[in-house]
Chain A
């Protein structure tokens, strides 16, 4: 098997745009399908937090929890979900941190700003770090890590994935 070519910047950008667009559009089922079977969504609570298991996090969801949230978000009797959630995510400064030509796997980092509106407008900002794995046909997300610049602040309800 020949080595995988390194994806171009525009290919990487397309992957990120697709992921954030599905969140903006609240298409959770399709969003979950972007993750690998062992995929995780991680939002640490501390700066430079290395460990999701022995340290508390704001989010550390596997695909199972993503699916439970998917059902919860659209449940008619979830009081906190009665308001419509609107959001807009912007990413930029995309850089490839790591690419393994043997497997095709890569780690990508970008800056983001996400504006969420539910009850009131809230701004989140920081970096996304994606670990993508190459299946031979497409990239799946092994992990999306969301480093908030104010991760250790006292947050109100964070109603959905950022």
Chain B
């Protein structure tokens, strides 16, 4: 069975999508090809490959790649595939290499991809092989940096990264500005959380503000029950600051607002979010004032967003300095990685808060994340039923929306981010120029 463009168009309507989007292995394979392997996908931050030769191995869709800082200090993304028989030339998740030597026949490539060595040279006379021929170098993937955030794109066509990010890039800007030193650094390892569900359930949920009151009620209640056990004058704690707002009221989420932009990007929050009422961290405001002055500091900290999704691969929490990477594995398997940024020039306690946040919210042990995942699991199973063919996303359609730069701003509990994502999804899935040539 092969789905035509017309078949796919029938699956997405303005206010609902067909349940097969989450379960059809053929659609999953097409998503890999037409979305993940055709657009800007997040690789990592430049601080993860500090020294020349530092590398990380990753995937873009199904394609293994290496992000490596070359001898010249430039960061390249290379296909992780030997040009001889095709084995991956780098096997470890990360490391430092002077060159990549294939473990099978020893073909060796520089960190810019150039083939520099083939053992036992004789034997290729009068063949198509020539060590100097660039077609025997590791193929370079188009990659660009937005202020240290490295993205790669397997397609050589289409917009530059800056244009792709659009006004949603302001969430990255804000996270950087929250650093008194004006710079970020990845630190403190990674959490990997295996989700036994389609990747889109996770992405759908990022700006779904109608679920916390229901899905996370138990966490809010558990915090309250514990507070009730404590003596009356017990000072508030940071843990409660972080966990309790997941039980915020619908009205609160309405007020936070949501912005959506081209290519499926979106963020909830504006000047208010579930992060805006955290207690202060000693020394942080002082450090910010010193760097930016009071006015500008206020302006920076006024921007308080919850999740920003850079569809389809990256979501960031600027106010918390943690990011998550979405790695689809199969139609019903997804890996979510959580990474942490240190704000340069900020007190260590800011980093400790981010770590606490990620443990409480994004860890496999989280009381919040585990209930989200339980909901995704039930969605996966429920949507296998044909009792209802469609998934509704009609809330506030065409209402309470206004333009805002190249984005659209809407009431916080609108389904607009879903509609926007699936409009982007449909765009990617049906924009297949090579088929028109047939």
A154 at the interface (CB under 8 A from B): yes
Q: Quick one: which of A55, A62, A78 contacts B367, CB cutoff 8 A? A: A78
B9 at the interface (CB under 8 A from A): no
A54 at the interface (CB under 8 A from B): yes
| Among listed A6-14, A69-77, A98-106, A131-139, interface-contacting one | A69-77
**A65 B239 Cβ-Cβ under 8 A:** yes
Q: Which of A132-158 contact B (CB under 8 A)?
A: 152-158
Q: Quick one: which of B188, B217, B219, B358 contacts A54, CB cutoff 8 A? A: B188
Q: Which of B296-323 contact A (CB under 8 A)?
A: none
Chain B contact-residue range equals 35 or more
Q: Quick one: which of A46, A60, A77, A154 contacts B193, CB cutoff 8 A? A: A154
Task: Find chain B residues with CB under 8 A from A76 CB.
Answer: 218
Q: Taking A152-B192, A154-B194, A155-B194 as contacts, is the C-beta distance between A56 and B223 under 8 angstroms?
A: no
Closest-CB distance, B56 to chain A (whole angstroms): 15
Task: Find chain B residues with CB under 8 A from A78 CB.
Answer: 218-219, 222, 367, 371
Q: Which of B315-361 contact A (CB under 8 A)?
A: 335, 338, 340, 348, 351-352, 355-356, 358-360
A34 at the interface (CB under 8 A from B): no
**B222 A156 Cβ-Cβ under 8 A:** no
Q: Quick one: which of B189, B194, B225 contacts A56, CB cutoff 8 A? A: B189
Q: Taking A59-B359, A157-B364 as contacts, is the C-beta distance between A68 and B191 under 8 angstroms?
A: no
State in angstroms the CA–CA spacing of A108 and B427 once bound together: 59
Closest-CB distance, A3 to chain B (whole angstroms): 37
- Tally of chain A residues near chain B (CB < 8 A): 37
**Per-position contact with A for B202-245: 1 when CB-CB < 8 Å, else 0?**
00000000000011011101110110010000000101000100
Closest-CB distance, A144 to chain B (whole angstroms): 14
A123 at the interface (CB under 8 A from B): no
**A56 B358 Cβ-Cβ under 8 A:** yes
Closest-CB distance, A94 to chain B (whole angstroms): 25
**B364 A75 Cβ-Cβ under 8 A:** no
**A79 B335 Cβ-Cβ under 8 A:** no
Closest-CB distance, B245 to chain A (whole angstroms): 14
Which of chain A's residues has its CB closest to B243's CB? A68
A81 at the interface (CB under 8 A from B): yes
A23 at the interface (CB under 8 A from B): no
Can you report 22 A-B residue pairs in the complex whose CB atoms are below 8 A from each other?
Answer: A45-B191, A53-B355, A54-B348, A54-B352, A55-B187, A56-B363, A58-B359, A58-B365, A64-B237, A68-B222, A70-B222, A71-B226, A75-B221, A75-B222, A78-B367, A80-B370, A82-B374, A153-B192, A156-B194, A157-B370, A157-B374, A159-B370
Binding site for A on B (CB under 8 A): 187-196, 214-215, 217-219, 221-223, 225-226, 229, 237, 239, 243, 335, 338, 340, 348, 351-352, 355-356, 358-360, 363-365, 367, 369-371, 373-375, 378
Query: Which 5 A-B pairs give the minimum distances between C-beta atoms?
Result: A78-B218, A71-B222, A75-B218, A154-B192, A80-B374
